[in-house]
Amino acid sequence: MKASYCYSLLLILLAVSAKEHSLFGAADPTDGFTQLPLTDDNFDLQKPYNIPLSQRYNYSDGIRSLWVYNNDKPFKHSSGTRPRTEIRIKFQIHGAAEGATTLQLRIYDGNMRYYKYNLVATDLYDKWFRVNVIHDVNEGKITVFIDGEQKFVVKDQGPGDLYFKCGVYAAPENSSNFMESRWRDIKLFKK
């Protein structure tokens, strides 16, 4: 798996929908990348440890729906983290020398933020949008595109042995009682 660190990698995610939204805009960020095989065997689902998966996850008509309640348990009994229902994509690509993650995109009040800080995009509730994340490991740089438009660039946080994840996580404390995200057409590319 160490050889995979030599590649620039791209994850495409389609998220959060109730209405159709055009997926085509500017030049495609996947141009020049090669799609990697990605099957259900690559996905590891995490959910509150005391609840059956079917009560926090549904896969129907190509759409993966994940939800969690603020008072749910964490994904492991011994975990001190907040509740989550997430898809962990088993393809090790990046991590952080410090902290658990290199990138988190969070949505608060319809606005996407890098962690809880930098604004990445606005007005994202109740619609499909395409998210492209390019992690250039050699350059130590992460670029985020929304619907084909570059929205955010940041230095990564150093090497690690982690993975892409998508889903819903009850962070921070005092989150909404119910949180949901929907994902479709998840793809992984390399350059």
Pick the CATH number of 2-190 from 3.40.50.10420, 2.70.70.10, 2.60.120.200, 2.60.40.1120: 2.60.120.200
DSSP 109-147: TTEEEETTSSEEE---TTS-EEEEEEEETTTTEEEEEET
Q: Is 154 strand, coil or helix? A: strand
Which amino acid is it at 22?
A: S
Lowest mean pLDDT among 5-9, 46-50, 94-98, 144-148: 5-9
Is the pLDDT reported for residue 26 higher than 70? no
User: Strand 129-136 to strand 141-146: parallel, antiparallel, or no bridges (unpaired)?
Assistant: antiparallel
Using only C-alpha atoms, what is the Rg of the chain?
Answer: 16
Residues facing residue 96 across a β-bridge: 157
Mean pLDDT of 157-171: 76
| Predicted local distance difference test score (pLDDT) of residue 15 | 42
Is the pLDDT reported for residue 66 higher than 60? yes
Average pLDDT value for the chain: 80
Is the pLDDT reported for residue 60 higher than 90? yes
Is the pLDDT reported for residue 94 higher than 80? no
- DSSP type of residue 102: S
Asked whether the beta carbons of 104 and 115 are under 8 A apart, the reply is: yes
Share of the chain above pLDDT 70, in %: 77
Q: How confident is the model at residue 106 (pLDDT cuts 50, 70, 90)?
A: confident
Instruction: Give the C-alpha separation, 141 to 124, whole Å.
Output: 24
Q: How confident is the model at residue 56 (pLDDT cuts 50, 70, 90)?
A: very high
Q: Where are the beta strands (DSSP E) in 16-159?
A: 34-36, 43-46, 57-60, 63-69, 84-89, 105-108, 111-114, 119-121, 129-136, 141-146, 149-155
Q: Which of 149, 160, 92 is nearest to 121 (CA)?
A: 149
| Predicted local distance difference test score (pLDDT) of residue 89 | 74
Is the pLDDT reported for residue 127 higher than 60? yes
Lowest mean pLDDT among 9-13, 29-33, 49-53: 9-13
| Predicted local distance difference test score (pLDDT) of residue 135 | 85
pTM of this structure: 0.73
